[in-house]
Amino acid sequence: MSVLITLIAAVLVFGAVIAIHEFGHFFVAKLSGVQVNEFAIGMGPLLFRKIVGGTQYSLRLLPVGGYVALEGEVSPESQQAQSAGDPDEEEEEENPIPPELRTGVPLNQVAVWKQMAIMAAGAIMNFVLGFVVLVLVVATQQEVITSRVIYSIDEGALCGQTGLEAGDEIVAVNGRRCFVANDILYELARTESHQAEITVRRDGALVELPAVQFDVRETENGAYMDIGFVVYGIEKTPLNVLKEAWNSELYYGRIVFTSLIDLARGRQSINDLSGPVGIVSAIGQAASYGLGDVLELLALLTINLGIFNLLPVPALDGGKLVFLLIQGITGRPVPEKLQGALTLATFALLFGLMIFATYNDILRLFGGGF
């Protein structure tokens, strides 16, 4: 039964994240008058299709992505997905829409700014989904909203002896602004030597506390840092729910961005990357705790996808935005052959990275490791 619940939750989460991303591209493309040949969920062999309003809507076998095929777009990933179908359908796949139903224009015939809007729309819709999901999470959770204002400090706590006071509002930790209470915990967990530089708002003025120290507690499972204070709760009004959801989205976005930076700097091992298997495992674990945890993971995944797709890598939307920015500045498009070669090369690298992450997931799943 738990396996079935995991599969259902995984399909719903992956489906929502991918569908909303592709819908962003689709909606803005339609709005801009661009011909959308296909809206696909999944990759590889075709399972189902229906042509409506000059667009083929399809479901494909491999639940590892999706795409929107636009007329005139340089898109090796779409070509790969189509070529993976039934060979007898290859000719039909290349031109799924009858000429009389193609009412839109090719992508490269609309203004550059419209092309950029189409490319950015997928990530934007991921952020919108993340915000909506977080509104639901904050509004339905039983716990109160936690503030960043210290209610009390434990008696004898080292943080109180080295600068923090009751009534302080924590603004930043180690130079990084804190949007929600979880930001404080996340940044403190990244500190070294159990000491942090903290900026607080005290009596209306910003105060810099350069060396706040925290107690270390020893347990059977090892040592941990005791923050030594508690914060105020916030009344759950509609406005406060919206504010908390927005700030939580910034919090999740920072986690994703910081993790990418840590990976690039070598602070985080590439072996820590998770592929589809690891994500499904995480979804299954979240599902065992309840709907709230699944929704929080959905928010993290959709924000993660939005940020990842905006990276300036040719196979991603961010790379296409770079090509379009160059075109907007120079007045000339980047040659299609160069775009195609760079996109195909980076697509292959990303696919290889996914295979590597999946291999690590399987090793972790069965108790192995690198």
**Which among 206, 234, 262 is the end of a domain?**
234
pTM: 0.83
Q: Are residues 114 and 166 in the same domain?
A: no
Q: Rounded CA gap, 362 and 317, in Å?
A: 29
* CB of 142 closer than 8 Å to CB of 156: no
Q: Are residues 150 and 229 in the same domain?
A: yes
* CB of 47 closer than 8 Å to CB of 59: yes
- Give me Rg for the CA atoms of the chain: 24
Stretch 32-54: mean pLDDT, rounded? 89
| Pairing label, strands 222-226, 169-173 | unpaired
**Which among 193, 218, 234 is the end of a domain?**
234
Q: Is 255 part of a structural domain of the chain?
A: no
Write down the pLDDT at residue 348. Answer: 85
Who wins on pLDDT, 352 or 28? 28
The predicted-structure confidence for 66-75, as pLDDT tens digits, reads as follows 889 998 876 6
The predicted-structure confidence for 298-324, as pLDDT tens digits, reads as follows 999 999 999 999 999 888 899 999 999
Q: Is 155 part of a structural domain of the chain?
A: yes
Stretch 4-24: mean pLDDT, rounded? 86
* Non-local CB neighbours of 206 within 8 Å, separated by 6+ positions: 171, 199, 200
Q: Rounded CA gap, 300 and 318, in Å?
A: 19
What is the CATH number for 221? Answer: 2.30.42.10
pLDDT score of 119 more than 90: yes
pLDDT score of 62 more than 60: yes
pLDDT score of 368 more than 60: no
Who wins on pLDDT, 167 or 360? 167
Q: Are residues 212 and 152 in the same domain?
A: yes
Stretch 16-25: mean pLDDT, rounded? 93
Q: Is 11 part of a structural domain of the chain?
A: yes
Write down the pLDDT at residue 339. Answer: 85
**Which among 234, 261, 281 is the end of a domain?**
234
Number of domain units in the chain: 2
Domain region containing 163: 145-234
Q: Is 126 part of a structural domain of the chain?
A: yes
Q: Are residues 317 and 203 in the same domain?
A: no
Who wins on pLDDT, 365 or 188? 188
Q: Is 212 part of a structural domain of the chain?
A: yes
Q: Is 192 part of a structural domain of the chain?
A: yes
Write down the pLDDT at residue 255. Answer: 86
3-state secondary structure of 216: strand
Beta strands in 111-268 (DSSP E): 145-153, 169-173, 176-177, 195-202, 205-213, 215-219, 222-226, 229-234
Who wins on pLDDT, 319 or 100? 319
Q: Are residues 127 and 8 in the same domain?
A: yes
The predicted-structure confidence for 201-232, as pLDDT tens digits, reads as follows 999 999 999 999 999 888 777 778 889 999 99
pLDDT score of 49 more than 70: yes
Q: Is 283 part of a structural domain of the chain?
A: no
Write down the pLDDT at residue 86. Answer: 45
Q: Which residue has the tokens 């979880």?
A: 182
pLDDT score of 280 more than 80: no
Q: Are residues 6 and 130 in the same domain?
A: yes
Write down the pLDDT at residue 270. Answer: 67
Q: Are residues 125 and 221 in the same domain?
A: no
Q: Are residues 158 and 180 in the same domain?
A: yes
Write down the pLDDT at residue 36. Answer: 92
Write down the pLDDT at residue 275. Answer: 66
Q: Are residues 193 and 119 in the same domain?
A: no
Q: Are residues 26 and 115 in the same domain?
A: yes
Q: Are residues 28 and 115 in the same domain?
A: yes
Query: Predicted confidence band at 246 (pLDDT cuts at 50, 70, 90)?
Result: very high
Q: Is 297 part of a structural domain of the chain?
A: yes
Q: Which residue has the tokens 């052959």?
A: 337
Q: Rounded CA gap, 7 and 11, in Å?
A: 6
Q: Are residues 149 and 216 in the same domain?
A: yes
Query: Predicted confidence band at 24 (pLDDT cuts at 50, 70, 90)?
Result: very high
Query: Predicted confidence band at 78 (pLDDT cuts at 50, 70, 90)?
Result: very low
Give the containing element (helix H, strand E) for 306: helix 291-309
> Furthest-apart CA pair in the chain: how many Å?
79
Query: Predicted confidence band at 366 (pLDDT cuts at 50, 70, 90)?
Result: low
